[in-house]
Structure 1
Amino acid sequence: MQINNKKSSCLITSGAINRSTAEFVAKSVQKNNELHIEQIFLLCSQATSGNVEWYREWFGEDVIISEAKTQSDGSIKDDVLLRIINLAKNYDIAIDLSNGTKTTTSYLFLAGCFLEIDKMYISSRDSNGNYVYNKVSAFKEISSLSKIANIDLLRYSTDLESLRTDSNEFSLMQLFIDQAHKAIEAFFKSGYSESVQFATKIYERILAEIFKSRVYESLAQECELDMSKLSPNIGHARRLIEMSNLFSNYAEKQRRSKNDIHKKGEIALLEKLSNAINMMRIYRNTASHEIDSISEIDARHAIQTSIYTLKLLNQSEILKETFK
């Protein structure tokens, strides 16, 4: 959301091949009493790189003019979008959608909607064939649109199904994938706390199976841990803590061992798994005791972390056979 009390404005616009259309935009902006342009940010293709000189001619030396290159297809790279976000922190942003390719102006419009920019403009011809400069309304419910379109759902589902093809039809991994799908479904129905609960149940089952496997006993003995501490009868919350510590301790022990260079990839993987378990322990406690505080961001992160964990398990030479 754009929060800005500054009066100085920054115009963001695409480069134009036709000088007259660019000049119309410049003059329209200069006539706009809402805008006090101190900076212009131009998105230029190879064909429109000369626009900087045009805007310098129209706005003079006192206005800061900078440019960024668009991709060959008109798209905008992430670092350029980041520059726009940073400009929005310091200026009253005005976005012009008159020039450039449809791809570039689409990126600009979406950026304006996400940042809730209320000053977006486009030039067009009226019924008499004269150019007019009109304000464009931002779509305020852009985050809701992504839910309706199921954009995230499709991406997460694709990630899960790629894991499904790597595992046995009746394996535990298949059950975890089904559980993750339930977490996703709950998220898109706005049941954020329910979504987190589905995601954390994946962890509870994963750890329960590890406790029953030879892997747990082997790792615990190698780390010289007290086996009674890891009793199968301990509660889920304690189990999350102890298993996170087990992976962390084992990774640290192997890192110090000069004879286990071949395990370096596995060491990093177990450290990541330890961190993921720690994060899910926090979400599990919140979902159990502070259910009303679960937000959309929490639910999204819990789903992402659970899918990330399944990927780690699938890559682990030590653990993957337990679940395949």
Structure 2
Amino acid sequence: MILQDFLCFDDKGLCCRYGDFYLDPLQPVKTAVISHAHADHAIAGNNEVYCTEPTAAFMQLRYAKMAAKVFNMVPYRQSFSIKGVSITFISAGHMLGSAQVLMEYRGVKYLYTGDYKLQSDATCEPLEWVTADVLITESTFANPDILHPNPVEEIKKLADVKLNIMLGAYGMGKSQRLIRLITDHLPQKTILIHHRIMPLNGVYERFGYSPGKYQLYGRKLMKEQKEYVYIVPPFTFDSYSRATGVKRFFASGWKNLQVNNQDTLFISDHADWNDILETIKQVKPCEVWTLHGDGSRLKNYFNNTIVVKLLG
């Protein structure tokens, strides 16, 4: 029997009371199961953390000694137990080390996706399918009007830009994917990297996922016009909103983060509407619980043929 209170929100985040742990907590907790290392899912200060090894490496790089008191680093597909709840990490395809969290309790399987994507990405492990009775899916882009284009076709938009390019992107995950795409599909471009992205690249390389060819940014270089692509984190991108002699793009799945209607780069690391429908098809759940977005359109789409519950 599916337990409707197997997961619930409280002031610290998404809690599994049956196992006395939190999934990607919002505040420090005693026991945290972390799906991936992005800051909105992996905070500092937890007492004990369960995650993949790359996720631990990113957290230790970002938070140093404050990352967690104890790290339990578990490979994909290796089950462990927390107070009677059996847990297995399944690759989520979102970024290096990202995991879906498969939980089994009293014979029922609950799959928490964390953030995930179906698009190919040479800088991380691909998403892996498993079946479950309950799918707890992020619904960031659970809207039939949002369909993300092919990332290769998007990156090729930069091919004809002869000015140097300032390319804004989140430093962990998105930047490495962009470096790989540009290296593979726009070899004529020279990639420059902001100094805060360099140590993150080092983690990727340590785990065998080289982003590609790049070099550290130098101020004098961008004064030349040599088809440079300078990849910078959002705060740097925003601070150079009036930069001259460069073409500005921001890589995101969100329309409101694009520079303008002409200079768009829709490259997303999340599942879009069709991807979510495909995930439901592959996981074969009896119920779908949504969070991290508006799940109402999914509820209307299935019209009670599948139970859809909006967690938040």
TM (normalized to structure 2)?
Answer: 0.24
Indicate the structure (1 or 2) with the bigger Cα radius of gyration: 1
Between Structure 1 and Structure 2, the one with more strand by share is 2
TM (normalized to structure 1)?
Answer: 0.23
